[in-house]
Chains A and B, each alone.
Chain A
Amino acid sequence: MSTPPVLRIVEREALVFARLWRGIAFSTFVAPALFLGAIGVGLGGLVKAHTGAVDGLTYLDFVAPGLLVASAMQLAASESLWPVLGGVKWMRQFHGVVATPISPGQLYGGFVLWTALRSMLGAAAFLLVAALLGAVPSAWGVLAIPAAGLCSAAFCALLAAYSIKLDSDLSFPMIMRLGVLPLFLFSGTFFPVSQLPSGLRPLALFSPLWHGVELARDATTGTFDVAPVLAHIAVLVACIAVGASFGVRRFSRRLSP
């Protein structure tokens, strides 16, 4: 039986992952635990003393799903910028891939799939730490893992489609500072969106991260309505679809002009 080409790309990424385990183990397992300890427990203690519950949750319960999905987004963003440009321009290994039976579109698909899988691995590790700290009240919490994967795929699909066309990385710091960072800080991760000035609140609807965080928070707390959950999923799937429609075409045009 033959392996689908998209999965052969996943295999390559997994091999790199296995070779670079040291840094990856830190960013996947240790860093989230540190964030959860400092922000969830440390800062959470101050919140508890002053406010008590945040949206009916302890601060730790509130912030854990936020940080979980936010780290999935950050991973997806950083993986979809420099490494994509490197693959096509600096190291050029993408050109090596498309000289084989694998097509540029399959390369793109495999890349997005891998990023989502890796984010889910990180999310699983994060969830474990969060559960040990008592931040996952519901068994539905397991579903926060696919929520993180979906959010990660959305960012990867869009950003990889963007990066593949570039000739320099000059815009990347801008994307991280003026795109990814504001999303990270204001998408209901650290404090409820309801606290934003009323004029800015609707903007959260446009943040894929907000949809991912809401999904994950619904899962870890186990309290949710079906309609908004479906809406969040629909938005993220739409992002992936838009990204893919550009991504497949742009990968082909760049790698087999």
Chain B
Amino acid sequence: MSGPMVAARALTKRFGAFVAVDGVDFEIEPGEAFGFLGPNGAGKTSTMRMIGCVSPRTAGELHVLGLDPAHDGPDIRARLGVVPQEDNLDTELTVWDNLMIYGRYFDLPRAEIRERAAELLEFVNLSDRRDSRVDPLSGGMKRRLTIARSLLNRPELLLLDEPTTGLDPQARHLLWDRLYQLKRSGVTLVLTTHYMDEAEQLCDRLVIMDNARIVAEGSPRRLIADNVTREVVEVRLPIEADLDFEAARLKRFGDRIEPLADRVLLYTDDGDATAAAIMSEGFEAGSVLVRRASLEDVFLILTGRSLED
């Protein structure tokens, strides 16, 4: 396929009077890992569901694998893999039967499903649980099984909606590792997340969504370079401090400052020099921290809010 995997123009989704997605444009190229980053309620899942052809668009244009979801939903879905935000495994069946029957939904021959399911269970480290029921599996195992399930039909495009939300750090890293491998094998990944570290780790390119719109687009590095200074100095304030007063006092040290509930962020290209200057003003050394700028800062600067809100 020569064109983009997914192309959206002025894509809109309304539920009654509520606007979930408000005229977004984006293109996803073959082989890339593309992310939708934004807080809960930004419109990421609605966008994903339109791409997955389980939610008709209200207005605008959308092409997935060169086809129009409004007409070719089943044909497109046959070539997609979907890992939904909430697990929807068949709890009445075993791990193995979940894979068998899901393959049948794609009308794959049984012999082929058996072969593929065995490979995939190996890939997600669940071979020893093949005859287990789904209920007793841990959250991380269920997520891995869902990923195995989504790969049965050798999808050209894999949609992952908040793939690691609710998982412990170890399970997250195991999952990321599997997603890297998929990416290397040439699968196009599309994922939503509200974790900036996940977006930085996995995505070649991403859009930042807020209030149903796309507010920025680019590679993680590009987004940071374009919107934020290289480094950030965080000044933690004592509980009794007057935030506005302290912010006014700190203003002259950075190119830009963001007062938060318990601390003030100063954006600067030379963190160490700025930190030294601040400390010479009488701020305690223990409360001043220098770090590299992240996507979190991009989001904060673009929307005025933090991602985790």
Q: Which residues of A are at the interface with B, using a C-beta cutoff of 8 A?
A: 2-3, 5, 8, 11-12, 15-16, 19-20, 91-103, 255-257
Contacts and interface: CB of A to CB of B under 8 A. Distances in A.
B18 to A, nearest CB: 12
Given A19-B97, A92-B88, A99 B77 contact: yes
Given A19-B93, A101-B78, A103-B74, A95 B88 contact: yes
A102 B93 contact: no
Contacts of A92: 86-88
A51 B102 CA distance: 57
Contact of B88 (A16, A19, A20, A91): A91
Interface residues of B, number: 33
Contacts of B140: none
A8 B211 CA distance: 40
A8 B92 contact: no
Contacts of B55: 256-257
Contacts, number: 82
A97 B94 contact: no
A100 B153 CA distance: 10
A15 B107 contact: no
Given A95-B84, A98-B54, A257-B55, A15 B101 contact: yes
Contacts of A94: 88
A8 B104 contact: yes
Nearest to A94: B88
Contacts of A19: 92-94, 97
Contacts of A91: 88-92
Interface string B67-104: 00000011101101010101111111110010011101
Contacts of B245: none
Nearest to A102: B105
Given A99-B54, A255-B54, A257-B15, A8 B105 contact: yes
A101 B105 contact: yes
B271 interface: no
B91 A93 contact: yes
